[in-house]
Amino acid sequence: MPHFTPRRLTLALGLALGLAAAPAFAAEADVAFTAQAAHGELNLVHGSDRITIGFITPNTVRVHALPHGQSSPASIVIDPKARPAALTEVKADTTGDVTTLSTSAAALRWDARNGSLQFSDAAGHVLLTQHGLGALANGTLKLDHGRGDPLYGIGGYNATEDASAGLLRSGTQTITAGEQGHAGAPLVWSTAGYGVLVDTVGGKFTLDDGRIAASDTSRRDLDYYLIAGAPKQIFAEVAKLSGHTPLFPKWAMGFTNSQWGIDEKELLQIVDAYRARHIPIDNFTLDFDWKDWGNDWGEFTWNTTKFPDGPGGKLKQMLDARGIKLTGIMKPRVHVDTIEGREAAEKGYFLKGNKPAKDYFSGKLVREIDFANPQARTWFFDHMKTAFQSGMVGWWNDEADNVGIDTQHLDMQRAIYDGQRAISNQRVWSISRNFYLGAQRYAYGMWSGDIHTGFASMAGQRARMLSAIDVGAMQWGMDTGGFTAGTPTPENYARWVQFGAFVPVFRVHGDSSQKRQPWVYGPTAEKAAADAIRLRYSLIPYIYSYEDQRRHSGVGLVRPLTFDWPNDPKVRNDVASWMFGDSLLVSPVVEQGQTAKTIYLPAGQWTDWFTGKRYAGGQDVTLPIDARSWSDIPLFVRAGAIIPTQPVMDHVGQKPVTQLEVEVFPADTRTQFDYYDDDGNSYDYEHAAYFRQSLAVQRRDDGVRFETGAVTGSFRPALRFYLLKIHGSAAGAVDGDGRPMKFFADPDSLQDSQGEGWASGRDRYGEVTWVRVAAGATRSVRVSPKR
């Protein structure tokens, strides 16, 4: 075994390794290790202390420091089902004092002469370098990286915090879930090609130019992961470690109206008004009003004065007939002078040190439940069962973020997720007011807290959303329209709904004196808002397919531009635009009275969704903005896009979808979209009860080739056809699997037919070829140009 002392580190050697000169680590320099590489893992030993280092995936290395050889349990960050283990397909080589472990994606180089650990990508580019591993025994991690590398992650912003710093992170950053819309994770990553995930609840990162340091972590046996890859690869690895997200129900892809200050009569009136106007909506969320708050079992039971038909299930039946799901608020505390409060006290379910305090709503004394206690979690959901069984299908978990415990909201939702899954196959839906990595395992969405109305607050939500996504909070939403500080202007409301239509969780909400229905803000705002909602509903097949993709890839529907263009310095801190799936770039209007907007389009070819105008990427473009009727949304289609759409319905699943219209924008490189569907409500997809089919397109010298792949999964939807709208040229001929397809004189004739075929013509994008092919079949379609 090589034996070394890090005293041998010299400035000359540091320069030879391409490292900047750094101050000596005196305390660390006295540590001497023996090292051994076996079974794809490197073990360093110093006395009773041990450090294990090894690949657990081709992209990810785990480093675990074991003071006195002792290990503690993983924190809530790491998925218990992940069970990281050493990867066996690792090449190991020892030459002199240097031991190298490598995979197809990354390499780890241990130099016994100077005690350095280098983490490199597959091309040999050094990503991270660690000196003085002896400091790990004291809970301190220091990693050197390239100067100027942009750093992201760690945490976002709360509801009132200045978000002008955007997405980039520097200086000392607290690792916390925070409160009021904050999202946090012990994760820092760079578009330079690496990520660092520390298994801790709490602590801090210190980011200097060229160094990442972690300290004050929750585990003495420091356990962390080095990840190599582009941003999407980094988040795929983070999902493998911290857990994948279960699917939300399909109705959650639609629109939610949340309201404080309501009763059963008004609820039905509002729902009927949506239906009469054919403004789509799927979910109505009730605030305090639904509960008999403060009376015996009132934290969990209906207020029968306001909602007389709630407990017996009649209200659910009336809403089911209207295609509306009902969800309700939950609080983390109970009143102490109630049956349930006395029971919680007797069983020790209250949070220790949380003294009784007067509730702002009831005026009575309450205490917080200790959701870290498994018995308390079970008890809590046991009392929620009656509300669930009488019609509540989702949960708005409020205010568990103000007791200074990073995992309180997480564990509250864990109580609901585990409890509901134990008694029902119906999918869990929730939103909570903060986030800590690991929460996503429990059907956990988040919203940005009690935000103000107004254009400035609306504009600030962009950085809040994208920074939350940068720590893994992929299912994000906000109180569209603003929660506090009065009533939004009609323009503010309309523009905000347009913004909300392009975020993962789409909902409106206001405080107790506010209504957020589109018609409240006048006919101009109503039309602009309703059109945005309808556009969202036309994209449900596209959006729902990204539910499936997020579950597998760890990357959600919305992502910052850095995820797709990591090497473009102009998008490093861009919060004005984001990708909505792989194919759409959106940049909502967030300024009052704006008449023109300049937008940066990254590399590629882009088409304006509404006008059909084409733009080359890598430049700023300026669009005229409608400041009178607020009818426009800056929305661009990326070359290679495959976007399935469906007829707009009043709610998701109102009618069977037998045909999807697929907007296709061929590029010279092959692109693929995996269309996904299932029953939308159950967890049967976990047992392969789904429908997944790949759709792929490429423009070639001989025309456009479109392919549908083999179907996976046992679910069979009502879908019979894809109506492809292949943009860019009118066809001279179309064949399927080498045989000519039937030609129709116009698209209407094709639509009226009962089978496959094609037609050509024009639409707002220019020349287009319509091709109707059977869904579920493996096909190869060639669209040949006119000669």
Cβ neighbours of residue 110 closer than 8 Å, sequence gap 6 or more? 35, 42, 44, 53, 98, 99, 100, 116, 117
Closest CA to 521 of 350, 693, 279: 279
187-224: string of b/e by CB count within 10 Å (b at 16+)? bbbbbbbbbbbbbbbbbbbebeebebbbbebbbebbbb
The torsion defined by the Cα of 16, 21, 25 and 28, in degrees rounded to 10, comes to -20
Determine the Cα–Cα distance for residues 577 and 590; give it in Å rounded to an integer.
11
Structure tokens at 476: 């994000």
Residue 758: beta bridge partners?
A: 743, 771
Rg, the chain, Cα only: 28
- CB-based contact 410:323 (threshold 8 Å): no
Cβ atoms < 10 Å from Cβ of 388: 20
The CA–CA distances, whole Å, from 43 to 62, 98, 119 equal: 12, 14, 16
Axis crossing angle, helix 540-553 with helix 522-538, rounded to the nearest 10: 60
The DSSP H or E segment spanning 638 is strand 635-638
3-state class of 581 per DSSP? Answer: coil
Burial of 147 (0-12, 13-18, 19+ CB in 10 A): exposed
Is residue 79 part of the annotated active site? The answer reads no
105-119: string of b/e by CB count within 10 Å (b at 16+)? bbbbbbbbbbbbbbb
3-state class of 219 per DSSP? Answer: coil
Is residue 401 part of the annotated active site? The answer reads yes
The CA–CA distances, whole Å, from 438 to 242, 280, 387 equal: 5, 33, 27
Q: Exactly one of 401, 479, 632, 677 is catalytic; which is it?
A: 401
The DSSP H or E segment spanning 549 is helix 540-553
Burial of 508 (0-12, 13-18, 19+ CB in 10 A): buried
DSSP 8-state secondary structure symbol assigned to residue 362:
T
Determine the Cα–Cα distance for residues 78 and 238; give it in Å rounded to an integer.
9
Structure tokens at 232: 């999407």
Q: Exactly one of 398, 411, 574, 608 is catalytic; which is it?
A: 398
Q: Exactly one of 450, 574, 632, 677 is catalytic; which is it?
A: 450
The DSSP H or E segment spanning 699 is strand 691-700
Is residue 292 part of the annotated active site? The answer reads no
Q: Which amino acid is at 247?
A: L
Identify the residue whose tokens are 């893994």.
472
Closest CA to 528 of 403, 633, 643: 633
Sign of the torsion angle spanned by Cα atoms 598, 599, 605, 608: negative
The catalytic residue positions are 398, 401, 450
